[in-house]
């Protein structure tokens, strides 16, 4: 007597879903959406027009992103993740702290030279979604600050940086690079953002006063932290 393995009735399994194709399509949508939002603004971006540009049905967009809001925020989130990846890759394997800082800042500004649309999305996120307590940029910035906090703490411990709260350093540097994006963007570029890295680091690391003038300085902000 032969034994047959019976199969339960029902549909036979179809072709496995191609996850790589799904992810590629998702990235294509986000690429096109970022450019559309940056060009037309959040309110004026028409998802039907976006779908036509991508040569897909409008329903396809909603399968990936249930609303225009979610599509916009996903586009911003992806942009900031790509920024983080580029900055991290630039300093990978570099152990000297200040060399890592220079490479990271250079990569940071180069990213925005290549993707200026992300700056426009930052502006729109603030204008359109005031219900969000923290913007996408700062959510990621706070989440990824750990290695840089450790680096500056190590520099202080080694005597390379004067004693002060690391948070103070992080805030000052963060404000400097983030502010540079917007002043350059609003004024119109006369050169690349990347080219400004050396100037910013020169001012941050060496200040603007000569050694002679520093020795004559009577006023020092936060006397308790002055060398």
Residue ranges making up the domain that contains 161:
68-206
What is residue 215's predicted lDDT score, i.e. its pLDDT? Answer: 78
> d(Cα 127, Cα 116) in Å, to the nearest integer?
18
Residue 88 is assigned to a structural domain of this protein: yes
Please check whether residue 59 lies inside any domain of the structure.
Answer: no
For residue 151, how far is the Cα from the chain centroid? 20
Full pLDDT tens readout for the chain, 227 residues: 444 444 445 545 555 566 688 899 999 999 999 999 999 999 999 999 999 999 999 999 999 999 999 999 999 999 999 999 999 999 898 999 999 999 999 999 999 999 999 999 999 999 999 999 999 999 999 999 999 999 999 999 999 999 999 999 999 999 999 999 999 888 876 678 898 898 999 999 888 888 888 777 766 555 444 44
Look at residue 1 and tell me if it is in a domain: no
Decide if 7 is inside a domain: no
The helices-and-strands tally (H runs, E runs) of the chain is: 11, 0
Predicted pLDDT of residue 213: 82
Q: Is the pTM of this model over 0.85?
A: no
CB neighbour burial string for 15-27, b if at least 16 within 10 angstroms, e if fewer = eeeeeeeeeebee
Domain count, the chain: 1
Q: What is the pLDDT of residue 15?
A: 58
Six token digits for residue 157? 């411990």
- Residue 73, domain CATH: 1.10.357.10
Establish if 17 belongs to a structural domain.
Answer: no
Establish if 84 belongs to a structural domain. yes
Q: What is the pLDDT of residue 103?
A: 95
Judge whether 152 lies within some domain: yes
Asked whether residue 43 is assigned to any structural domain, the reply reads no
Return the pLDDT at 153. Answer: 97
């Amino acid at each position: 007597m032969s034994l047959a393995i019976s199969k339960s009735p029902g549909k036979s399994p179809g072709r496995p879903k191609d996850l790589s194709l799904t992810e590629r399509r998702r990235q294509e949508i986000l690429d096109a959406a970022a450019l559309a939002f940056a060009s037309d603004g959040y309110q004026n971006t028409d998802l039907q027009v976006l779908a036509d540009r991508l040569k897909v049905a409008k329903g396809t967009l909603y399968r990936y992103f249930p609303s225009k809001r979610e599509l916009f925020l996903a586009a911003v989130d992806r942009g900031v993740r790509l920024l983080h990846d580029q900055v991290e890759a630039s300093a990978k394997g570099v152990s000297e702290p200040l060399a890592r800082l220079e490479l990271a800042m250079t990569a940071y500004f180069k990213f925005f030279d290549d993707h200026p649309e992300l700056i426009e999305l930052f502006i729109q996120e603030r204008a359109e979604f005031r219900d969000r307590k923290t913007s996408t940029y700062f959510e990621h910035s706070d989440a990824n600050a750990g290695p840089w906090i450790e680096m500056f703490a190590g520099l202080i411990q080694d005597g390379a940086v004067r004693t002060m709260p690391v948070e103070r350093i992080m805030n000052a540097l963060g404000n400097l690079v983030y502010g540079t994006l917007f002043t350059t963007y609003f004024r119109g570029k006369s050169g690349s953002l990347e080219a400004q890295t050396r100037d910013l680091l020169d001012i941050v690391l060496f200040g603007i006063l000569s050694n002679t003038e520093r020795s004559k300085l009577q006023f020092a902000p936060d006397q308790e932290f002055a060398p």
